[in-house]
Chain A
Amino acid sequence: MTGLRFGLALAASVLALGVAQAQTPKKGGTVHVVVQPEPPMLMQGLNQNGPTNMVAGNIYESLLRYDEKLNPQPSLAKSWEISPDAKVYTFKLQEGVTWHDGKPFTADDVVFTLDKFLREVHPRWRPIVNAQVETIEKVDDLTVKITLKQPFGPLIMTQEVASAPMIPKHIYDGTDYRANPANNTPIGTGPFKLKEWKKGSYIHLVKNENYWLKGKPNLDEIYWQIIPDAAARAVAYETGKVDVLTGGSVDVYDVARLSKLPNTCMTTKGWEMFAPHAWLTPNVRNGILGNKQFRQGLMYAIDREFGREVVWGGLGKLPTGPISSKTKFYSADVPKYAFDPAKAKELIKASGYKGETIRLLNLPYGETWTRWTEAIKQNLEDVGVKVQVENTDVPGWTQKASNWDFDLNFNFLYQLGDPAMGVARSYITSNIAKGNPFANVGGYSNPEVDKLFAEAAIAPTDKERQDLYTKVQKLLADELPVLWLLEMDFPTIYRCNVKNLVTTGIGVDDGFRDAWKE
């Protein structure tokens, strides 16, 4: 099975390479890209904010990349093998890779990164390595072996660049990571190097002349421009100041208009790994919200298609359950909720709702969310539910969400390529923890759900995992611990003469390695 999987991956990558080279890339050129907000830092091991990932994905690299179907592809790992018992992963590294400071990249760096550095600082890798991994060993300079405590299928999905960027051991080992002065001058193995960061204006990356993949990158320079106002970003694109508007950087109502401009392309691809899933979290500790019938009533009351069509400008897709249809293990075999106010009224009445005011916490991420909040308030009031909208700024929202201070709360979370990493966290009992807005903040707890997620994570084959995930999706869609609203699309708008911009399931975050300018 594993041999076959590897063979397929290789074949797919060869195929991808063939397609990419159908048109000979031109060398040289500069691309101007929008990044917003300004990243706090570019040291990707210590910070995984959206904007950090966008820029730092050019500087750092990980063992693997993932295509649009989320199949692993070689990156710093040339090849990999999974033992028949699915417990030992052996990664063969690329030869001749050097860090930006000229030092060689070896298995020591990989072991340091995965076993020490990220285990200490990375909130996503830490739980995986602590719970699943037995040892991470260097076999020789170019071979690393990861031995698991038990089979853990998602491991092969964890080596994406923001989740596991390779960190230079010679710079960080034995230092206080967060205080290391090198954090301001990131050293990676990636196709581009940091030249200058003019705070408040731009980040300038230049080609890594010694990049290990011969002939790459094609571009000479990338400028990431920091333009705080969304409307000004749109004008900057129209006047030619920038070539690429990354996902979410312009208002939804500008997307359609900008996409129609001459020499302009738009794609919603490149988000398959993250597959942002938006929902409303009911705080099930709060009275009537703990009642399943009431939650189902709310789901029938919300005109989700209106939200998609009008508020989000027709972008995205209606979800059916906790797992995005863009990722693996999705199942459509679940109870569905069409927009049906009459049925909603019935269920809400049957739930014993007595007209309590429900506090709806708006997500302060801009106009679109505010409109969505208003639309949903309207939907709920139409079926007799009293709603009071609460507004705050981002830190205020983070605090309220983390401390469970809401009745209904908007949120959107990344799926991270596998339900064990991006999905289970919102529903399992062990993740009910204050202080984290992305934990199970609604407080839903169901031993059966816990068991299904736990078993699915470590089931040895994909078939067994699929069966368990199918069950849990069916169960959750009935119970509605959260009200799924939208599989979000973040369109990337760019000039058509920028080629090969989005080639993987991580999109722009995977860097401009293959991009070129006509």
Chain B
Amino acid sequence: MNLAQFLAGRLAKGIVVLFAIAVLNFFLIRAAPGDPAQVLAGEAGAADEQLLIQLRERFGLDQPLLTQLWVYLKGYLTFDLGFSYRQQQTVLSLILDRLPATLLLTGAAFLVSLGLGTLMGALAARRAGRWQDSVITTLALVFYATPLFWVALMSQIVFSLKLGLVPNVGYESIGANYTGLARALDIASHLVLPALTLGLFFTALYARMMRASMLEVAGADFVKTARAKGLSPGVISRRHVARNAILPVVTLAGLQAGQLVGGAVLTETVFAWPGIGRLMFDALVQRDYSVLLGVFFISSAMVVGFNILTDIVYRLADPRIEAVS
């Protein structure tokens, strides 16, 4: 099967999956108690029957459920993600507004954790059983086991409050009006804490995965052969072991990449990072259905997309793998 056929098949499946997810999401969020009109009225501390009727009409909630479902699906078929009456903006513009911040954060966390994690794992494997290995595996365990929100708050207290190294919240210095390089540096300083916090967990995963995988491959026959023909340990490690050991890491990276859009709710909240995760969380507690469905849809599309991409990367990392699906 060639790549084009493979891709076409996967795409077709992906579309079916996305459709199913879209329908499921619609019913799932309706199962939660309350509706956006009630939430708005509740927040205002005052309401009467007429206000609720006005708001429900505005949100389109006075229509039968199936009509609402149809309107929603019809919109998606024409790439229209709907309108948020709560925020008086189209869902697409809300999402696009927040997308850069999220991609910057999750992208940075992705690179940091992938780079640092594989490096740590490879190093630990080469020094297996020695003190370097112990240090790395202990660190990985700590990264893995520490709750994210605790790390987030502690890092704010230590690095922002006590040491004054980096700002604790936000995307940039509000009101400073930096431009060009100064602005980039300002954003970067705001990025440090959330990106590290978010990357920590996956760093640990990559490190453990890489170490285990390298140790396993290191015992394989072809590695013995390589050693027997006199290759240096460094070359064996890089060209023979690491290359073969990387596949499980690619799988994991595919998983993490799928979460690039939707996976940073907690980090974005604690660090006041103006991204999609918070948009989704706010929409959830406000029952802002159209925004919630929009974010769900974009995140599921990302997951499906990255799954396909992962399959392609498999072939590049290991040409022996046929793209059979």
Contact = CB atoms under 8 A, between A and B. Distances in A.
Indicate, yes or no, whether A interacts with B.
Answer: yes
Given A30-B175, A393-B285, A126 B48 contact: yes
Contacts of A48: 44-46
B170 A201 contact: yes
B285 A402 contact: no
Interface of A: 30, 32, 37-38, 40-41, 47-50, 121, 123-124, 126-127, 178-179, 183-184, 198-202, 204, 221, 223, 225-229, 231-232, 235-236, 238-239, 241, 392-400, 402, 413-414, 433, 435-439
Given A48-B46, A178-B85, A229-B153, 14 more contacts: A41-B86, A178-B58, A179-B58, A223-B175, A227-B272, A229-B269, A231-B156, A235-B161, A392-B33, A396-B33, A398-B42, A399-B34, A435-B52, A438-B42
Interface of B: 32-35, 38-52, 54, 58, 85-89, 94, 97-98, 101, 153, 156-157, 160-161, 164, 167-171, 174-175, 269-272, 274-275, 278-279, 282, 285-287
Given A32-B175, A41-B87, A395 B48 contact: no
Given A198-B274, A232-B153, A395-B287, A414 B32 contact: no
Given A40-B286, A41-B88, A121-B54, A239 B160 contact: yes
B170 A241 contact: yes
B161 A49 contact: no
B170 A235 contact: no
B88 A184 contact: yes
A436 B45 contact: no
B278 A438 contact: no
Given A227-B272, A239-B164, A436-B47, A40 B40 contact: yes
Contacts, number: 168
A438 B51 CA distance: 13
A126 B51 CA distance: 10
B286 to A, nearest CB: 7
A179 B50 CA distance: 17
Contacts of A201: 170-171, 174, 272, 274
Nearest to B43: A49
B160 A50 contact: no
B33 A232 contact: no
A3 B4 CA distance: 88
Contacts of B272: 201, 225-229, 232, 236
Nearest to A400: B33
A43 B97 CA distance: 21
11 contacts: A184-B88, A198-B274, A201-B272, A201-B274, A202-B174, A232-B272, A236-B272, A239-B161, A436-B49, A438-B45, A438-B47
B32 A395 contact: yes
Contacts of A199: 87, 94, 97-98, 274, 279
A398 B39 contact: yes
Q: Chain B CB within 10 Å — which of A183, A201, A227, A438 has the most? A: A201
A399 B38 contact: yes
B168 A232 contact: yes
A439 B94 CA distance: 34
A437 B167 contact: no
A367 B157 CA distance: 20
B44 A435 contact: no
A175 to B, nearest CB: 14
A396 B33 CA distance: 5
Given A232-B153, A232-B168, A435-B49, A200 B44 contact: no
Contacts of A32: 174-175
